[in-house]
């Protein structure tokens, strides 16, 4: 993919998952074009509201549909999915009604730093921090330049998973600008809740405390999972992120971090969001120009 709408995408592969699931692999490798195709197909499927479909789960380069086989035969569903795939085509003209979200993150915070230093024996470079290692292998001369690249362009939430509420985010930049880093050699047994991490080509916010293998860069003051639904953003779901959301990770200092934590604790915090009609073909044609438009909607520039 090098500008323009991605063409020559591979044929989708359709498989059964027991009696109740159909799994569709659109490609073996993740790319923005493939993920846009998955979103276009699953959105159209939702709009059709076909009797017998119980759940639709989009992923990075695939999607899965749960069905009631007593109402809808899997082969009939697969037939319709193939038709939708043809109708979607190269996603030219596809529009996604979504939202742009301001996601504050404190980079190089003391809590994730303490966690990553406890597990240097599990890291590729025990003598460096995760940020230092990641900057070096991506060709950046300093961690400041690396952080500027991470925070310089918005990210698309491509899927939710691994643990409940964890958003997988892929940056809306040309392929040659994509950051890639490996996971730890051996996973940590501890990762702070709300840690901002990176693995492969994906940025994440850890929704819960627990094990993890992604490189650790910072900490978000606000949750992405609220099982008690104390905060207004979680009124209708315990999970805040949605596939198709556009996250802008914004670097903050300790003073703003503490202020947001206070609002989270007293129940008054709300994410800054703006509705947005996302055009994948425009993102592929002119990523940097379109990103300015996206951020202008969020921050009023």
Can you give the C-alpha Rg of the chain in angstroms?
20
Convert 36-61 to b/e letters by CB count within 10 Å (16 or more is b).
bbbbbbbbebeeeeeebbeeebbbbb
Report yes or no on whether pTM surpasses 0.85.
yes
**Which CATH code fits 13-91?**
3.30.1360.40
Judge whether 276 and 297 are in contact, CB under 8 Å. Answer: yes
Helix 130-137 crosses helix 143-150 at what angle (to 10 degrees)?
Answer: 80
Closest CA to 154 of 8, 9, 296, 10: 296
Closest CA to 278 of 269, 290, 260, 270: 290
Sites in the chain below the pLDDT cut of 50 = 1-7
SS3 2: coil
Q: Beta partners for 167?
A: 160
Give the DSSP letter of residue 232.
G
From the candidate CATH numbers 3.30.70.1400, 2.40.30.60, 3.40.50.12780, 2.40.100.10, the one assigned to the domain spanning 97-299: 2.40.100.10
For the four alpha carbons of 78, 81, 87 and 88, in that order, the dihedral sign comes to negative
Closest CA to 36 of 82, 94, 81: 94
Range(s) for CATH 2.40.100.10 in the chain? 97-299
């Amino acid at each position: 993919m090098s500008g323009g709408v991605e063409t020559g995408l591979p044929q989708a592969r359709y498989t059964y998952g027991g009696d109740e699931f159909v799994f569709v692999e659109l490609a073996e490798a993740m790319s923005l074009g493939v993920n846009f195709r998955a979103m276009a197909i699953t959105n159209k499927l939702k709009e059709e509201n076909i009797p017998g479909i119980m759940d639709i789960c989009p992923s990075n380069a695939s999607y899965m549909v749960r069905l009631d086989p007593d109402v809808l035969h899997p082969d009939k569903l697969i037939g319709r999915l193939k038709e939708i795939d043809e109708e979607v085509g190269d996603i030219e003209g596809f529009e996604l009604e979504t939202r742009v979200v301001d996601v504050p993150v404190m980079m190089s915070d003391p809590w994730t730093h303490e966690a990553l230093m406890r597990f240097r024996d599990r890291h590729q470079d025990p003598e460096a921090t995760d940020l230092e290692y990641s900057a070096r292998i991506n060709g950046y001369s300093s961690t400041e330049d690396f952080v500027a690249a991470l925070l310089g362009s918005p990210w698309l939430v491509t899927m939710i998973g691994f643990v409940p509420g964890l958003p997988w985010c892929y940056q809306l930049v040309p392929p040659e600008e994509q950051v890639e880093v490996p996971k730890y050699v051996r996973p940590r047994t501890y990762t702070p809740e709300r840690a901002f991490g990176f693995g492969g080509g994906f940025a994440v916010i850890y929704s819960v405390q627990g094990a993890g293998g992604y490189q650790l860069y910072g900490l978000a003051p606000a949750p992405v999972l609220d099982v008690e639904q104390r905060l207004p953003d979680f009124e209708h779901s315990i999970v805040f992120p949605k596939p198709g959301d556009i996250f802008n990770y914004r670097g903050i200092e300790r003073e703003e971090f503490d202020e947001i934590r206070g609002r989270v604790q007293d129940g008054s915090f709300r994410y800054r969001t703006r509705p947005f009609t996302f055009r994948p073909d425009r993102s592929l044609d002119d990523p940097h120009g379109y990103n300015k438009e996206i951020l202008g909607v969020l921050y009023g520039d």
